[in-house]
Amino acid sequence: MRTDLGIISDWITPGSRILDLGCGDGTLLSHLRDKHNVTGYGLEIDPDNITACVRKRLNVIQTDLDAGLPDFDADSFDYVVMTETIQAVRHPDRILLEMLRIGREGVITFPNFGHWRCRWQLLRGRMPVTPTLPSQWYDTPNIHLGTLKDFEDLCRELRIQILERTVVDRTHETDFLMRLAPNLFGEIALYRFRRS
């Protein structure tokens, strides 16, 4: 199993109610169901990913996250998870608030635009193309690129309490340099948070 999914799995209490926003093919949700006996739903827009979720016997709803989450009551879930999707939504601040309206805690991952490879490419006058940000500037789904510091500033502004943070590289591993200077060496950020 990928290290980042293992980290998220360790943050989730067995038997919890989970909502996975932008659940992709359901890899995380099926792992949590099998390992932690969670009950959950995935929200996804891509028809092929929805088919993959159905094959895994997951509850999945086709929706566009930019339309909001009005169909869910407050405190419907123990955890609302969003892996490598926040950079592709129009209003990241609104989705974070919605996550904490309908869930007790949130878990989020995103590519770190502050990683040294991104900085180096910007210094050379180019928009970054890296293993974690593989698309060219004109063909990317990513519309809000941020760093760890940007995310933490947004959390302060929204009165969101960060409970845990870790970073991994493109192979989903972590090392000493990433712990020493996470905003410079971490390629993917992982956060667990709740309302202050």
How do residues 101-141 score in pLDDT, each as one tens digit? 999 999 999 999 988 888 898 889 988 887 777 778 888 77
CA atoms within 13 A on the CB side of 64: 5
Residue 137 pLDDT: 80
Task: Provide the number of structural domains found in the chain.
Answer: 1
DSSP assignments along 10-69, one per residue: HHSPTT-EEEEET-TTSHHHHHHHHHH--EEEEEE--HHHHHHHHHTT-EEEE--GGG--
What confidence score (pLDDT) does residue 138 get?
Answer: 80
Q: Pick the range with the lowest mean pLDDT from 35-44, 69-78, 166-175.
A: 166-175
**What CATH number does residue 95 fall under?**
3.40.50.150
pTM score of the predicted model: 0.91
Enclosing domain of residue 190? 3-195
Which two tokens mark 87? 């950079």
Q: Which tens digit of pLDDT belongs to each residue from 41-67?
A: 999 999 999 999 999 999 999 999 998
Average pLDDT, the chain: 92
Identify the band that residue 1 occupies on the pLDDT scale cut at 50, 70 and 90.
Answer: low
